[in-house]
Structure 1
């Protein structure tokens, strides 16, 4: 028999509970156990006036932002609409049925003011990392570091050639992203990372780097740098930089130092790809931090023309000389070249002229010279580690950080930035990393309500 037609009849009284309507298995219910915002008011208190009308609760704004980044809701205008309609979102944000959702413009006002003034998003991220440590998901024994390019909100059609003169001071009066760009020109992660003039500069976001690193169409991008603990792939630090190798390597050092200072985590080994295998980086890890570099050595000494490469020359550490394949000695004067990081060891012209191996050694030079980095001992340490089974394991574990970047772009939909400027990129990367750690906590630490009796 056909059922009766449903007729909307208003009732005088309703009994409705959000608590009952949010399933025990809902992601936000699982995440809510790990969201501790008790310190937010203390951090923000100096930035609020003691008089006037009460402002929007900052905890509400933070909870809404977490909802947006956990579910890949990129627009704050759309986020407000979704929170207004979705019962689970309302429950997580503590709004109830009658609570009023703030206007989307409130996020911009707080982000550019109070939130950045007290570095709130960094504190929120570190609070979640501390919870991961407390839950036993981080042991600090092994870290992995890598960077991924995230497209900037910049259009090549409105860019200018890097060699052109631009009056940035005038543009900065009306554009926050340009002011941030000018403020970071002397920072190692930004303007000071390289003296190379980029091919194009975006007037809307000049800190974004024009790059063709993906071997396809070039685009403007920022680098999102992750430092993760390999036990459960928890992100222990995150940093935004220019999308060039020098800035990314510098960010790795910054994150390792900051993690030790703020979280008291000091790894025994660090896993990375060849981009981090430069001599100076390996020297810093081995000599200054006593960390094992499970990193391929960045080495261009090999030769493809059939002549002897540097590997064919034996180094005598005690005498500080190189021995060539013919048994002759190459010595150094001790003068440093290449920005003070390289010693040159030269053979005697008299020995080379009479040597029958000269056509295979230095056919176009009077005598052979061999460069040696002042960090060569650290490079040798990395080469020896590369021969071990532990190194093979590390290379396999490094995929965990690549999976995090894939999750960031495909699930959280952060394949293109919405905010502009270095601070905008930093805010987005911090919130996304916080959301990823919260989702990992919810996955690995089951809710007591879901555990069998």
Structure 2
């Protein structure tokens, strides 16, 4: 018999959100790992909230919601809040019941900024890495480093002379014409008037220059997990300088190796690595003036070849972060916020890898 197309809800229901999420859904282990990492951050959550006043959005729910934005390529807070409102899977992951009201997107953004400004994401990243270390998923001897350009949330038209304090010309609509032909522009004389920390940079000779930041990672070579991450301004030396600073933060003093591409084949980076008891397995750039900074005493070993093969995996988190995550182009301004979003994306990568490694 043909069914009747009538929509009529029951007055009462006993269905729980838990029953809508399959037992083998990949978000289940990710949520468990994230909750385990956040247990050690209660002291930090308590320090950034007052003991009196109206209750705000719980920071744990804010973090879960932001991680959803990374894992499901949700482009804005407005769209995120909209989807949490009607997506039962998202409600379950964030920690809302089916009857709980969802926050306004502007309220969510204000509370999100509080977390970004208090380095909560930085502390969470360290807790996720410590959790991976407890599960014996990390190598403590062999690492790889790399950096990538991240497009800033700033228009080329905002890039004007530093001494130009005038208002932009009116007229021409929101996207008025601008002609930079013949004008010499550099980071020494110009800056973005909407994001002062962004700098003009390009991927290589002949490529288009864009207002950008740089993201840096240190990957352990066993399972491809990111153990250190940071964002910086896109200067010419940032890739090597930040990599050396991140390597210096690695725990322990035992002898280690680090793989890297030809951009790291400089006397300064090689010297810094050896001062930290780290053998630099960088790709040799024999075409540079003066030749490569490393010689056959390093490159003749079988371990050097293995490092050069494995270090290419350090590109995978960048590719994942730019296609799935949030780092193809930033939606925040200022180096501190960019750093938090970059590290949040690397947290998403680590949790996804840890879930896969758990089988």
1:388 alignment partner in structure 2: 301
- Farther-moved stretch of structure 1 (3-12 vs 78-87): 3-12
2:103 alignment partner in structure 1: 102
1:34 alignment partner in structure 2: 33
**Alignment of 1:397 onto 2:298:** no
**Alignment of 1:223 onto 2:221:** no
- 1:211–1:219 Cα contact (<8 Å) kept: yes
- 2:248–2:276 Cα contact (<8 Å) kept: no
Determine which of 335, 341, 346 is the counterpart of 1:428. Answer: 341
After TM superposition, give the deviation of residue 434 of structure 1 in Å: 0.5
2:272 alignment partner in structure 1: 284
- 1:279–1:298 Cα contact (<8 Å) kept: no
1:157 alignment partner in structure 2: 157
After TM superposition, give the deviation of residue 301 of structure 1 in Å: 6.3
After TM superposition, give the deviation of residue 100 of structure 1 in Å: 1.9
**Alignment of 1:415 onto 2:323:** no
After TM superposition, give the deviation of residue 115 of structure 1 in Å: 4.5
**1:114 to 1:88, Cα distance in 2 relative to 1, 3 A:** closer
Determine which of 227, 237, 257 is the counterpart of 2:228. Answer: 237
Q: Which structure has the larger Rg?
A: 1
1:254 alignment partner in structure 2: 245
1:30-81 Cα deviation digits (max 9, x unpaired): 2112112223332121222222222221111111111111112131111111
1:295 alignment partner in structure 2: 282
After TM superposition, give the deviation of residue 241 of structure 1 in Å: 1.0
**What SS does the aligned partner of 1:237 have?**
strand
**What SS does the aligned partner of 1:124 have?**
helix
Task: Identify unmatched segments of 5+ residues in structure 2.
Answer: 168-185
1:314-353 Cα deviation digits (max 9, x unpaired): xxxxxxxxxxxxxxxxxxxxxxxxxxxxxxxxxxxxxxxx
- Give the TM-score normalised by structure 2: 0.87
1:263-286 Cα deviation digits (max 9, x unpaired): x48661000112112111111111
**What SS does the aligned partner of 1:396 have?**
helix
Between the two proteins, the alignment pairs up a number of residues equal to: 338
1:113 alignment partner in structure 2: 114
**What SS does the aligned partner of 1:404 have?**
helix
**1:57 to 1:165, Cα distance in 2 relative to 1, 3 A:** same
**1:142 to 1:207, Cα distance in 2 relative to 1, 3 A:** same
- 1:150–1:415 Cα contact (<8 Å) kept: yes
2:143 alignment partner in structure 1: 143
Give structure 1 regions of 4+ aligned residues with deviation exceeding 6 angstroms.
none
- Give the TM-score normalised by structure 1: 0.70
Task: Identify unmatched segments of 5+ residues in structure 1.
Answer: 171-195, 303-309, 312-375, 447-453
Q: After the TM superposition, which residues 36-51 of structure 1 pair with which residues of structure 2 at under 5 Å, given as runs?
A: 36=36, 37-51=38-52
1:61-104 Cα deviation digits (max 9, x unpaired): 11111111111213111111111111111111110101222222
- The CA distance in 1 between the partners of 2:326 and 2:63, in whole Å, is 19
Q: After the TM superposition, which residues 230-379 of structure 1 pair with which residues of structure 2 at under 5 Å, given as runs?
A: 230-260=221-251, 264=252, 268-286=256-274, 288-297=275-284, 379=293
- The CA distance in 1 between the partners of 2:318 and 2:100, in whole Å, is 36
After TM superposition, give the deviation of residue 7 of structure 1 in Å: 1.0
After TM superposition, give the deviation of residue 413 of structure 1 in Å: 4.9
